[in-house]
Amino acid sequence: MTYGYNGQILRVDLSRGATSVDAVDELFCRKYLGGAGFVSYFLLKELQQGIDSLGPGNKLIFALGPVTGVPLPGSGRHCVGAKSPLTGGYAKSESGGFWGAELKYAGYDAIVVEGKAEKPVYLWIHDGEASIRGASHLWGKNTKETQETIRAELGDSLIRVAAIGPAGENLVRVACIMNDLKDAAGRGGMGAVMGSKNLKAIAVRGHKRPKLAEPERIKELRQWVLAHRELWASFAEYGTGAAMEAWVATGNIPVRNFLDGEFPEIVEISPTALRDKIRIKMEGCYACPVRCKKVVKVDEPYSVDPAYGGPEYETLAMIGSNCGVSDLKAIARGNELCNAYSLDTISTGGVVAFAMECFENGLLTTKDTDGIELRFGNAEAMLKIIDLIAKREGIGDLLAEGTAWAAQKIGKGAMEFAMQVKGIEIPAHEPRLKAAMGLGYAVNPHGADHNASLHDTFISQPGAFFDRVKPLGILEPLPADDLGPRKVAMFRDVHLFRIAQDNLVLCLFLPYDPEQAANILAAVTGWRTSTTELLRVAERTLTMARSFNIREGLSAADDKLPNRFFQPKRNGVLSTKFYDPEQLERAKSYYYTLMGWDAKTGIPTPEKLQELGIEQVAGI
Q: Which of 22, 533, 580, 585 binds a copy of itself (CB under 8 A)?
A: 533
CA dihedral 581, 585, 499, 51 (to 10 degrees): 100
SS3 317: helix
Q: Which of 220, 610, 619, 620 binds a copy of itself (CB under 8 A)?
A: 610
Size of the site for a copy of itself (CB under 8 A): 42
The answer to whether residue 250 forms part of the interface with a copy of itself (CB under 8 A) is no
CA 256, 258, 259, 260 torsion-angle sign: positive
The answer to whether residue 531 forms part of the interface with a copy of itself (CB under 8 A) is yes
The answer to whether residue 129 forms part of the interface with a copy of itself (CB under 8 A) is no
The answer to whether residue 289 forms part of the interface with a copy of itself (CB under 8 A) is no
The answer to whether residue 532 forms part of the interface with a copy of itself (CB under 8 A) is yes
Closer to a copy of itself by CB, 3 or 139: give it: 3
- Classify each residue of 264-274 as buried b or exposed e, where b means 16 or more C-beta atoms within 10 Å of its C-beta: ebbebbbbbbb
Query: Among 435, 427, 365, which Cα is nearest to 394's?
Result: 365
CB of 587 to a copy of itself, least distance (A): 10
The answer to whether residue 475 forms part of the interface with a copy of itself (CB under 8 A) is yes
Q: Which of 203, 414, 537, 595 binds a copy of itself (CB under 8 A)?
A: 537
Judged by CB under 8 A, which stretch of 35-43, 55-63, 384-392, 605-613 contacts a copy of itself?
605-613
Closer to a copy of itself by CB, 429 or 468: give it: 468
Q: Which of 489, 508, 573, 603 binds a copy of itself (CB under 8 A)?
A: 489
Contact 564, 413 (CB under 8 A): no
Tell me whether strands 60-63 and 8-13 are parallel, antiparallel or unpaired.
unpaired
In angstroms, how far is the first alpha carbon of the chain from the final one? 30
Q: Angle 513-516-520 (CA atoms, 0-180°, nearest 5)?
A: 135
Closer to a copy of itself by CB, 127 or 467: give it: 467
Contact 86, 544 (CB under 8 A): no
The answer to whether residue 528 forms part of the interface with a copy of itself (CB under 8 A) is yes
The answer to whether residue 527 forms part of the interface with a copy of itself (CB under 8 A) is yes
The answer to whether residue 323 forms part of the interface with a copy of itself (CB under 8 A) is no
525 conformational bin, left if phi > 0, alpha if psi -120 to 50, beta if neither: alpha
CB of 39 to a copy of itself, least distance (A): 19
Closer to a copy of itself by CB, 57 or 596: give it: 596
The answer to whether residue 1 forms part of the interface with a copy of itself (CB under 8 A) is no
Q: Which of 289, 484, 526, 568 binds a copy of itself (CB under 8 A)?
A: 484
CB of 23 to a copy of itself, least distance (A): 18
Amino acid at 290: V
The answer to whether residue 541 forms part of the interface with a copy of itself (CB under 8 A) is no
Contact 386, 302 (CB under 8 A): no
Residues 23-62 that bind a copy of itself (CB under 8 A): 27, 30-31
**Distance separating alpha carbons of residues 359 and 256, to the nearest angstrom:** 12
The answer to whether residue 213 forms part of the interface with a copy of itself (CB under 8 A) is no
Adjacent-strand bridge partners of 134: 121
The answer to whether residue 473 forms part of the interface with a copy of itself (CB under 8 A) is yes
The answer to whether residue 593 forms part of the interface with a copy of itself (CB under 8 A) is yes
The answer to whether residue 594 forms part of the interface with a copy of itself (CB under 8 A) is yes
The answer to whether residue 529 forms part of the interface with a copy of itself (CB under 8 A) is yes
What count of other Cβ atoms lies within 10 Å of the Cβ of residue 391?
A: 17
Site string for a copy of itself, 551-590 (x = CB under 8 A): ---------------------------------------x
The answer to whether residue 268 forms part of the interface with a copy of itself (CB under 8 A) is no
CB of 545 to a copy of itself, least distance (A): 18
**Distance separating alpha carbons of residues 391 and 142, to the nearest angstrom:** 12
Query: Among 361, 526, 474, which Cα is nearest to 2's?
Result: 526
Closer to a copy of itself by CB, 106 or 454: give it: 454
Tell me whether strands 78-83 and 8-13 are parallel, antiparallel or unpaired.
unpaired
**Distance separating alpha carbons of residues 8 and 22, to the nearest angstrom:** 6
CB of 488 to a copy of itself, least distance (A): 7
- DSSP one-letter string for 331-389: HHHHHHHHHHHTB-HHHHHHHHHHHHHHHHTTSS-TTTTTT----TT-HHHHHHHHHHH
CB of 539 to a copy of itself, least distance (A): 9
The answer to whether residue 515 forms part of the interface with a copy of itself (CB under 8 A) is yes
CB of 214 to a copy of itself, least distance (A): 14
**Distance separating alpha carbons of residues 82 and 40, to the nearest angstrom:** 9
Closer to a copy of itself by CB, 27 or 227: give it: 27
The H helix count followed by the E strand count for the chain is 24, 16
The answer to whether residue 530 forms part of the interface with a copy of itself (CB under 8 A) is yes
Amino acid at 33: L
Q: State CA 104 to chain mean position distance.
A: 21
**Distance separating alpha carbons of residues 41 and 170, to the nearest angstrom:** 28
Binding residues for a copy of itself (CB under 8 A): 27, 30-31, 467, 470-473, 475-476, 484-486, 488-489, 493, 513-515, 518, 522, 527-537, 590, 593-594, 596, 607-608, 610-613
